[in-house]
Structure 1
Amino acid sequence: MKYKNNWIPTKTIDEMSRTEYDVLIVGTGPGGGATLYRLCELWKNQGAKKIGIIDKGDKLFHSHSLNIPTQNVNTARDQLLPDNSTTFEKRVPQFSGARMIYALGGRSLFWNAATPRPIQSELNKWPIHHQELDVYYRMAEKLMHTTRSYAKGSSMQNILLKRLHSHGILEAKDMPLAFDMTGSHQGEVHSNPWYSSINALAAAQFDRPYDLGLNANASRVIVENKKVVGVEVISLEKKAYTIRAKNVVLSASTLETPRILLSSGIQGPAIGRYLTGHVSIIGIGTISRRQFSDKLGNLAILKFETNEDPYQIQILGPDQFFSYQQFEDKAYRDNLMVVYAAFGRVEPRAENRVYVDPSEKDEFGVPEFQVQYSLSSKDRQTATQVAQGIRKSAAAMGVTLDESSLVLRPPGSDMHEACTCRMGDDPATSTTNRHGQIHGVQGLFVADNSVLPTLTAAGPTLTGSALAIRLADHIVRHSG
């Protein structure tokens, strides 16, 4: 017999179409999850408020993939991710590395959980005061249990950090990770240390009820008299429903959110434009096991971006033991593998964009997104800097680098794309205002990585979550 997959309660689209929501969130990734978490926290005792959240996908895992006892870094990356994700190499050749996970939790089920803040000099240019941003970064870091103690006590970490510092690479630090280091005690369970938006959905659920609808393909937003009134949703049976809402928060992803807006006929010259990712290189090197004590430990170093070096390097190891299951025997070779996952800044350019291709429609008859994307000469210069930064770090650490590994990955491979619905004061160059509201449409908001004004070398997940929490506060303030 088939058992019900009921570890989290759900509603059918038909049931949700009979409710008018105060807030309806489209997408259950980090942005959607953080928005929901904060709304439920603030409306904990507001029983009359109705909150709904929908996702195009179904239930996949109840947790981050690395929290699953049968998985480790290698199997999650090499088998689980390909088996449970969608790629677009043929249909989207200019962004061929892009990969989406259409499932509850989205790509947060697989991300590597690095949570650096962007470089301050760039945040100072954003339309939000830096002190206000700091408040919401701290709230997001608390939600994600961000820690710098992941590799505490590791001789490999301590020795290699000292070598980096002694060679003048002072911006190398313990990597901040969304990893709950709290041990389970007195009945309080902390068995899902790697953060995914499932954690946010759970925190929200214990604060107050909300409606969750899955296999719900949001085809368009419905706007009347410059005010949002709901979302058209198509079920697996290809039946269209209207879910009514006073406020709609789009958190469908940097690629899908502009598709929904453009398919809805919403006007805005910047919608879908300024698509920004990272130039990404993953370097591989080796170092002798004999250089470290028996208390080898793991390696989680981040070389932060500086004004001179517009890139970050995540330095991970040894071998596959950056993260591993308690059941695994740590059998080390004489030469340990060290990984350098590096991400460089890309210029924000209006011509890099997501647009709707009316000639290509999905199984529901909704136009597919298409991408126009290229690297500028400055971006390619940054890629050269990234490779040099890896070489410099490896040399300082005493790591023998495999030069053949220093290859620029296809655009989109970093899964850090952002900025296609970016926040700003000028409707000519931005899609939303400083609160994430679509210019000229009351009650319609964006809360995923697409709303970032710019993308620094830092991964976007922490920032997207901080802005999503801030958006929830704004909605609550204006909802009475």
Structure 2
Amino acid sequence: MNFNAQGQDEVSYDAIVVGSGISGGYAAMELCTKGYKVLLLERGRMVKHNDYPTANLDSWDLEFQGKVPREEIAAHYYKQNRLSWWVNQDNKHWIVKDDEYDYEEDQRFDWIRGHHVGGRSIMWGRHCYRLSDLDFEANLKDGIAVDWPIRYADIAPWYTYVEKFVGVQGKKEGLAHLPDGEFLPPFDLNCAEDHFKQAVEAKWPVRRITPGRTANLTQYIPELHHGTRGKCQARNRCWRGCPFGGYFSSLSATIPVANETGNLTLVANSVVHSVIYDDQTQRATGVRVIDAETQETREYFAKVLFLNASTIGSTAILLNSKSERFPNGLGNDSGELGHNLMDHHYGMGGSGIYTGHKDKYYSGRKPNGGFYIPRFRNISKETERTDYIRGFGYQGGAARGINTDAPLGPGFKTAITSPGEWTMRATCFGELLPYHENRVYLHAEKTDQYGIPKLVFDASLKENERKLRIDGVECLEEMLLAAGCENVQVHNQPTAPGAAIHEMGTARMGRDPRTSVLNKWNQVHAVPNVFVTDGSFMTSAGTQNPSITYMAMTARAVDYLDKTLRRDGRI
């Protein structure tokens, strides 16, 4: 092992944050602005705001009409491209190549990754929905897994805190199970979407349709939206990276703010191998890092660690951090580390042709998808199902196509440039329950190019999810028909866990150290100076996109740490 050439003091910091994505960037910013010297480690390459090579390319500028050749997919993206829409010419430079960082499967898991500074905050879908007490109380009510150690009141002020900075556009609806937030003006529904809303809500008042809530700046407020940011241009090219800083990402928001403090040290190409643990103090003292370019090993030291390497990444680091005290991974006294792996499941959806409003069109390309339909099953006695628990929500929208079947001849140019029919589409996202047997673990023999054990996934949908899916598709079909759509087509093609790119759990929060890994402040129960604030901490999944919850919990954890250190002098 090649140890640091410098003395320990030269590689010591107040805090180390592992991972520069949505939660890691937020942790670094919060720590830096509170005056702590922070080392931010990223396993992937360096990227800076505006390093977005395809951001301003038009479709005709992309090779093969934006598609990636089959030979390249087979060589490099054979798992990443299981989602047939995911790997394209305009975003493939953000996507991990499977041949460079593969994994094993007992059961299929679609692990979508981005290894670079900013992580998946560059490519995320940006939907931001608060969890509610319907979600925080669900495990206790249903008698499954373990109870969340917090309730909505604990996190509500932190949602407000981060939403103001992040910039979330949306519309207040007054729903207890989908709490309102601090919203910028929404991308309004277009005329067809509004027709859909009126028709559905008239027939089923409990089914509410609202503009999708996303982290796009419909209004730029300099005193709130710090960093390198500006108003969203409604180009809907977000997953390429935005040169305008029109949506929230680590590159445009949190990392620039952290940099401005002078307290941030950012080191890319740093693969964290494990956490260094001191048996005498019963605290973590730092991390072991492998340089991705030179393969050399370094050690960095800090009083506090924040693991934000993504749900799977952080858990892998903890599992690989073995010692005499923790032979099965750091903080794994409960044996739950790696278990309770969740995601949302989709592959449920449908579409129909809406023949009205042929005289109307729209301008711009809304980056919020269109509408969101929050959960309406099992939210009250009146909506309770007997065949399954929990629920689902929908993301969808309406758009006009082009007349691709226009006949050749004198009128071809006019026909091909005239709007076609309105198509209404929606995708259903269902909740996956926290099953202990759904897990990720370290392979006993196979290692990656850094000598770190490969990960093995073993997770699947169960009977509850299968029954939920049937209802989700049937509800969508009846809503499309109620809105007067024709040629309605629905599908139910179950996706493997991971496909929604909302992986959660594996280091869950809980009240009891015997059944959970983290406490209510996101601290490892047995190692209180290690915090985990990415999706690993989730105790149940809800139906909502989870990233805004990660950010809120990160800000809350840093605030707790800061107040504890200032009061007690140690954590």
Q: Describe the superposition over 1:56-87 as per-residue Cα deviations: whole angstroms up to 9, x where unpaired.
A: 11134626979933378x96953334443237
Map 1:222-261 → 2, pairs under 5 A = 222-225=276-279, 226-235=282-291, 236-261=293-318
Deviation of 1:368 (Å): 1.5
| 8 A contact 1:64–1:194 mirrored in 2 | no
Matched, 1:140 2:162: yes
Distance 2:462 2:352 in 1: 33
Map 1:308-387 → 2, pairs under 5 A = 308=383, 310-318=391-399, 333-387=419-473
Distance 2:39 2:441 in 1: 28
- The SS at the match of 2:287 is strand
Aligned to 2:191: 155
**Distance change >3 Å, CA 67–CA 311, structure 1 → 2:** farther
**Distance change >3 Å, CA 183–CA 295, structure 1 → 2:** farther
Deviation of 1:312 (Å): 0.9
Q: Describe the superposition over 1:364-397 as per-residue Cα deviations: whole angstroms up to 9, x where unpaired.
A: 1011211111221111111222222322332233
Distance 2:499 2:103 in 1: 15
Q: Describe the superposition over 1:165-192 as per-residue Cα deviations: whole angstroms up to 9, x where unpaired.
A: 1221532222211111125899984421
Q: Describe the superposition over 1:110-163 as per-residue Cα deviations: whole angstroms up to 9, x where unpaired.
A: 111111112431224631242221001111212220111442273233222212
Aligned to 1:180: 217
What TM-score, normalized by structure 1, do the two folds share?
Answer: 0.86
Aligned to 1:68: 55
Deviation of 1:53 (Å): 0.6
- The SS at the match of 1:478 is helix
- The SS at the match of 1:38 is helix
Aligned to 1:120: 133
What TM-score, normalized by structure 2, do the two folds share?
Answer: 0.73
Matched, 1:425 2:511: yes
Q: Describe the superposition over 1:411-445 as per-residue Cα deviations: whole angstroms up to 9, x where unpaired.
A: 21100110111111112321111111111113111
Aligned length: 454
- The SS at the match of 2:17 is strand
Matched, 1:97 2:99: no
Deviation of 1:14 (Å): 7.7
Q: 1:220 aligns with which of 267, 274, 289?
A: 274
Between 266-275 and 142-151, report the one with greater CA deviation.
142-151
Q: Describe the superposition over 1:29-53 as per-residue Cα deviations: whole angstroms up to 9, x where unpaired.
A: 1111111222223x2xx3xx31111
| 8 A contact 1:391–1:401 mirrored in 2 | no
Aligned to 1:273: 339
- The SS at the match of 2:505 is coil
Distance 1:434 1:401 in 2: 50
| 8 A contact 1:63–1:196 mirrored in 2 | no
Deviation of 1:295 (Å): 4.5
Distance 2:510 2:94 in 1: 35
Distance 1:123 1:65 in 2: 38
Deviation of 1:294 (Å): 2.7
Q: Describe the superposition over 1:284-310 as per-residue Cα deviations: whole angstroms up to 9, x where unpaired.
A: 424346425535355611110132470
- Whose radius of gyration is greater, 1 or 2? 2
Matched, 1:85 2:95: yes
- The SS at the match of 1:291 is coil
Over the aligned positions, Cα root-mean-square deviation in angstroms equals 3.1
Give aligned-pair identity as a percent.
21
Letter in 2 for 1:285: S
Aligned to 2:351: 285
**Distance change >3 Å, CA 179–CA 66, structure 1 → 2:** farther
